[in-house]
């Protein structure tokens, strides 16, 4: 199985673990991830305004590269996944944006949302299958109580993201179970960590991150997992009142598969 792979800027710098363990685990599972050549940063935030065209083009280039390679596109970072998925939806369903983006791109064949995007978790659930994943685990994380932190960007808006039930998701808990650990369900697992606001007002991000970690801790979690480098940053730096370890989900996967 060969997939186009989009790491994104943070996975090349501050979130190298998220990238490295994704690649090692994919290899162990027999999946080939081919990094898109000369990919550009997605911009981090989906430009919501209808008339924002130029800011969507780097995503269109990535999506079109995967289309030309003839592969589905795999993402890992929650923010990259969110931006690429929503721009792809625009290119498929919004004629105003599609026409203008293609006018800029001047591709031989206009891009109209043909690429299928899979978050790495969807790859595990829908392609590998959690039952098959379970069979490949060599170091089961038995007895470990792990809280899945979804945050915002993987789930919402669910009409476009389509990953899981936005209010009561299960993909990360099913992932944790496949690795042999025990998922901890807690109320703030899909509430915001404070996001971008930490740059202008860290005190606001502290309130939000402390609520998330406090909620996980109250339910008995020993560890929190995330797919997002900004959630990781906020929970670690702004979750000032708690000591819960926070790790990337790919690191946990690599550990269970014996490739860490």
Partner 1 sequence: MSMKSNEREEILRMSGVDPTKCMKCGKCSASCPAYDEFDIKPHQFASYIARGDMYELMQSKTIWNCLGCFACVERCPRDVRPGKLIDGVRQAAVRRRGGTHLQPEDIPSRIDPDTPQQLLMSVLRRERK
30, 37, 38, 48: residue in contact with partner 1 (rule CB under 8 A): 48
Shortest reach from residue 139's CB to partner 1, in Å: 28
CA angle 259, 176, 194 (to 5 degrees): 100
Q: Which residues contact 28 (CB under 8 A, 6 or more apart)?
A: 136, 254, 257, 258, 259
Q: Is 25 in the site for partner 1 (CB under 8 A)?
A: no
What are the Cα distances from residue 112, in Å, to 55, 67, 109, 162, 215?
17, 10, 9, 19, 42
Shortest reach from residue 192's CB to partner 1, in Å: 4
Q: Which one, 72 or 89, has the nearer CB to partner 1?
A: 89
Q: Which residues contact 24 (CB under 8 A, 6 or more apart)?
A: 254, 257, 259, 260
Distance CA(78)–CA(75), nearest Å, equals: 8
Number of residues forming the site for partner 1 (CB under 8 A): 44
* Listed ranges 3-11, 66-74, 122-130, 172-180: which one lies at the site for partner 1 (CB under 8 A): 3-11
CA angle 123, 176, 63 (to 5 degrees): 25
Q: In this structure, what token pair is assigned to residue 175?
A: 């992932």
Binding mask 75-114 for partner 1 (x = CB under 8 A): --x-x-----------------------------------
Residues of this chain that bind partner 1 (CB under 8 A): 8-10, 13-15, 41, 43-45, 47-52, 55, 77, 79, 152-153, 155-158, 166, 191-192, 194-201, 204, 208, 229-230, 232-233, 236-237
């Amino acid at each position: 199985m060969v997939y186009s792979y989009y790491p994104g800027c943070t996975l090349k710098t501050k979130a190298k673990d998220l990238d490295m363990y994704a690649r090692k685990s994919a290899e162990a599972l027999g999946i080939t991830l081919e990094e898109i050549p000369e990919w550009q940063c997605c911009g981090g935030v989906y430009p919501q305004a209808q008339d924002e065209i130029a800011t969507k083009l780097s995503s269109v280039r990535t999506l079109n590269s995967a289309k030309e390679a003839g592969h589905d596109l795999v993402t890992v970072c929650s923010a990259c996944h969110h931006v690429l998925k929503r721009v792809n939806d625009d290119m498929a369903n919004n004629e105003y944006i599609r026409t203008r983006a293609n006018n800029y791109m001047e591709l031989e064949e206009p891009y109209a949302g043909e690429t299928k995007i899979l978050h790495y978790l969807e790859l595990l659930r829908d392609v590998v299958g959690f039952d098959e994943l379970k069979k490949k685990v060599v170091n089961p994380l038995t007895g470990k109580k792990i809280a899945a932190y979804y945050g915002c960007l993987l789930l919402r808006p669910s009409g476009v993201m389509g990953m899981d039930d936005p209010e009561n998701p299960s993909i990360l808990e099913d992932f944790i179970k496949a690795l042999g650990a025990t998922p901890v369900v807690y109320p703030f697992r899909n509430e915001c960590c404070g996001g971008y606001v930490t740059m202008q007002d860290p005190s606001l991000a502290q309130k939000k991150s402390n609520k998330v970690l406090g909620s996980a801790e109250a339910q008995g979690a020993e560890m929190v997992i995330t797919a997002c480098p900004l959630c990781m940053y906020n929970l670690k730096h702004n979750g000032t009142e708690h000591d819960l370890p926070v790790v990337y989900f790919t690191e946990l996967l690599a550990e269970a598969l014996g490739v860490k």
